[in-house]
Structure 1
């Protein structure tokens, strides 16, 4: 399977490459600069906005402190009338670094390592940000309080709007079975911030300990994180499923990127793709019984926050010996 980004560029690469020297990716060099910017104080009262450009706070290594980058973004938002001159870094927009990797200090960003999310930005402002701020690769419009995707077959999907650039990100997820890289088109897949220990991975690890080589059904797989972790944990077989087509699209990319080659079935319904020890479906979990005639050792259910899981659990119990809600 060819791993090509929607934007046409070579944004997607094997995770083994993304993990190489990841510990140094956001580290400053000895010459990197910083500015003591108070996040809750108006930016315009701390810095002359006219001085902020790509040279402001820059270093020969090509990185800039996150606060400097966000100051550059905020300056443009103020210039475009999106924010007033009392705006501060805290209420400017949401920075989403890529790769998403937990660091012990504020990151220094190289070129193309940031996607930003704002519920106020417009297309003209977004295009200026992409053109003028080298670290920003994509600008999304949306409310972070609203989860993107689709809850169930009875719901309408919710997505953010990509105003400029490319919104593909990669999150590095630590598991007991090795680090995973999970790509996401952030306009369509829910945001998750890096953690030392993912609660979902911890629940999964506990469930897997009861088996040697389990068969696993990931009913609501999203971008494929938990199912890929199961493959890394040497599961005998993993079936990925999600009703949200963009989730399946990115799951296939993540399987390939994490070292599990994908073969398409040629069908748009039922079995979409497969590979060594895995299959991928795109349908309502309640319809899976029409396609799967086996009982899995573990059935994983990972729904939207606040969603009633009763129907999902009932469907999972028909297909799995043990239902794990994460």
Structure 2
């Protein structure tokens, strides 16, 4: 399977390539400039806004401190009348770096390494941000407090609005079996911030320890993080399923990007694709029993916060010996 970004650019790289330079990706060089910006104080009281452009805080290495980049974004928002001159960095917008990688220092960003989310943004301002702030690759409008995706088959999907650029991001997830890179079109897939220890991965690791090369059904796979973790852990077979088609699209991207080649079935529902030791479906979890003819050692149920898991657990129980709710 050849994987391409919707924008047509080369946004998707093999995860092995992303990981190769990840330790240095956000590190400043010795000439990089820092700017002490108080996040809760009005930006206009700290810096002359007329001085902020793509050269402000720039270095010959091509990186700028995250706070400087966000100051540039906020300056554009103030110019466009979306924010007033009392605005500060804390209430400007949500920065989502890509690759999403946990650092113990303020990251310095190269070009096209940031997607921003704001509930106040409009298209004109977004297009100006993309044009003037080189680090920003995509601008989204939406409320970060609302989960993106679809809760269950009885719910309507919720997505953010992509106003400008490309919002494909990659999050680096650490697992005991090696790091994963999980790509997602952020307006369609929920936000997850990098953590030193992922509670979801820890629950899954505990379940996997009870088996030697188990078969796994990831009933609500999202972008595929947990199922791919199982493949890296040595599962003999993993079935991915999600009713939300954008989640399945990113699962296929992530399988390929993490080194698991995908073959399409030619169908847009039910069995979508497969590989040497995995299958990918897109259907209601309650319908999976019509397509799967074996009992899986582990069935993973990972729903959105606040969703009643009872019907998911009941459906998973018909397909697996051990239902693991994450």
For the criterion TM > 0.5, the same-fold answer is yes
Distance in 2, matches of 1:94 and 1:134, equals 17
Asked if the contact 1:3/1:13 (under 8 Å) is kept, the reply is no
Residue 13 (structure 2) pairs with residue 13 (structure 1): yes
Structure 1: segments with no counterpart, 5+ residues: none
Per the alignment, residue 237 of structure 1 pairs with: 237
1:114, CA displacement in angstroms? 0.1
Within 5 Å, give how 1:90-101 maps onto structure 2: 90-101=90-101
Most deviating of 145-154 and 265-274? 265-274
Per the alignment, residue 118 of structure 1 pairs with: 118
Per the alignment, residue 289 of structure 2 pairs with: 289
Give the secondary structure class of the aligned counterpart of 1:188.
coil
Name segments (4+ residues, structure 1) moved above 4 Å: none
* 1:193-251 CA-partner distances (Å, limit 9, x unpaired): 00000000000000000001000000000000000000000001000000000000000
Per the alignment, residue 222 of structure 1 pairs with: 222
Distance in 1, matches of 2:231 and 2:252, equals 14
Query: Number of residues paired by the alignment?
Result: 326
1:105, CA displacement in angstroms? 0.8
Residue 87 (structure 2) pairs with residue 81 (structure 1): no
1:100, CA displacement in angstroms? 0.1
Asked if the contact 1:297/1:321 (under 8 Å) is kept, the reply is yes
Per the alignment, residue 56 of structure 2 pairs with: 56
Per the alignment, residue 201 of structure 1 pairs with: 201
Within 5 Å, give how 1:93-242 maps onto structure 2: 93-242=93-242
TM-score (norm 2): 1.00
Most deviating of 134-143 and 261-270? 261-270
Give the secondary structure class of the aligned counterpart of 1:19.
helix
Give the secondary structure class of the aligned counterpart of 2:20.
coil
TM-score (norm 1): 1.00
Distance in 1, matches of 2:89 and 2:108, equals 16
Distance in 1, matches of 2:135 and 2:2, equals 27
Give the secondary structure class of the aligned counterpart of 1:247.
helix
1:269, CA displacement in angstroms? 2.4
1:171, CA displacement in angstroms? 0.1
Asked if the contact 1:123/1:164 (under 8 Å) is kept, the reply is yes
Asked if the contact 1:161/1:187 (under 8 Å) is kept, the reply is yes
RMSD: 0.4
Within 5 Å, give how 1:23-34 maps onto structure 2: 23-34=23-34
Distance in 2, matches of 1:207 and 1:61, equals 45
1:91, CA displacement in angstroms? 0.2
* 1:72-113 CA-partner distances (Å, limit 9, x unpaired): 000000000000100000000000000000000110000000
1:128, CA displacement in angstroms? 0.3
1:293, CA displacement in angstroms? 1.5
